[in-house]
Structure 1
């Protein structure tokens, strides 16, 4: 009998402790409280664009010089010119070039970039601008600014949207086969499975050489 009373008291204490250790909030309280995950991706992306990304475009490596280095010493090329936030074979480069437009397609503009190092055909993306190449190509993102990968990814989305809505339209509207274009943008390469025959550039700056200003 005494044992049953003892066990009963222990069970009651356990229930009280369990009840007091659980705290419930109403949905309205959660919505009204200052959320730690509130993050203005558009504001961050615009500041990053204006203070870090575009001021650093002069650091881009010329595309033909990069191709020559990749063929001669792949490891050195990746070490010297690529960036990525994660560990793996996918790396990003900030490149620049100038060349002749050879085709204007629905989703890309093909350019043969020419320099003293040689010639390299590239496809400038004008429709499917996505991914993290532009965000990560310079290695300027500060991870301490973010509390979640969702916020980090939302910055990529905002940068890509800016390119699709502000950088691409005036270029695409006036681009014609045979014109010269100067470009700066980000490319993605796989260090383990390197392919240089189909390079796609996510553009950050596009300028038609000799084109009349709008």
Structure 2
């Protein structure tokens, strides 16, 4: 009988401890933790305080291209960034060239590079992904409480590009213009394709237009 009483008391204690250790939250409350994070504000501050200053360290595509062709591993180790250890890597690049085509979704620019005349595609319509967020290597996931906030920052950075960087350039650029750019590119280390490299722009300038304005 005494054993039964002790057993019942033991179960009661376990039940009380378990009750006070485990609790449930409404799904709305869980989401509220994420909704308090202002991704647009964070992206704007990152753009001004970290990304724009980082453009000074952009590698010229005229330098990067021959290195990718002859010493691929060195090029990736020296100039690329990424969150993980996979094959997808991001580069912050700069360049200058002549516009050879203004298409619906992109502007194609031909550069002079070490005797080559490579073509790059400046994205002017579909801007998505994490290239600009990750290319500078100055933003880290451990700065965020969860991956959703981190991804929302990427989306807001891309929105800045779509709303503020591309429209003034797109409205004026035409075939034959000489343009300069800073931006991010995504390359696959294992399956490297240098024929259709796309630049997600951070800064775009029409150089011959600037010259006309000075005159």
Question: TM-score, normalising length from structure 2?
Answer: 0.87
User: Secondary structure, in 3 states, of the residue corresponding to 2:101?
Assistant: strand
**Is the contact made by 1:37 and 1:147 (CA closer than 8 Å) also made in structure 2?**
no
Going from structure 1 to structure 2, the CA distance change for 1:51 and 1:117 (only over 3 Å counts) comes to: farther
Task: Give the number of the structure whose residues are more often helix, by fraction.
Answer: 2
1:192 to 167, 190, 206: 190
Taking the TM superposition and a 5 Å limit, the aligned residue runs for 1:107-186 are 107-116=105-114, 118-186=116-184
Which deviates the most, 121-130 or 111-120?
111-120
Aligned residues, how many? 210
**Is the contact made by 2:83 and 2:140 (CA closer than 8 Å) also made in structure 1?**
no
- 1:144 CA displacement: 3.8
User: CA separation in 2, counterparts of 1:129 and 1:157?
Assistant: 9
User: Secondary structure, in 3 states, of the residue corresponding to 2:111?
Assistant: strand
User: CA separation in 2, counterparts of 1:25 and 1:99?
Assistant: 57
Going from structure 1 to structure 2, the CA distance change for 1:25 and 1:85 (only over 3 Å counts) comes to: closer
Runs of 5+ in structure 1 lacking a partner? none
Aligned to 1:16: 16
Matched, 1:103 2:101: yes
Q: Deviations over 1:48-71 (max 9, x none)?
A: 111111122122111122110111
Question: TM-score, normalising length from structure 1?
Answer: 0.87
- 1:146 CA displacement: 1.3
User: CA separation in 2, counterparts of 1:45 and 1:139?
Assistant: 15
- 1:123 CA displacement: 0.7
User: CA separation in 1, counterparts of 2:2 and 2:37?
Assistant: 59
- 1:22 CA displacement: 3.2
User: CA separation in 2, counterparts of 1:205 and 1:161?
Assistant: 14
Which deviates the most, 8-17 or 41-50?
8-17
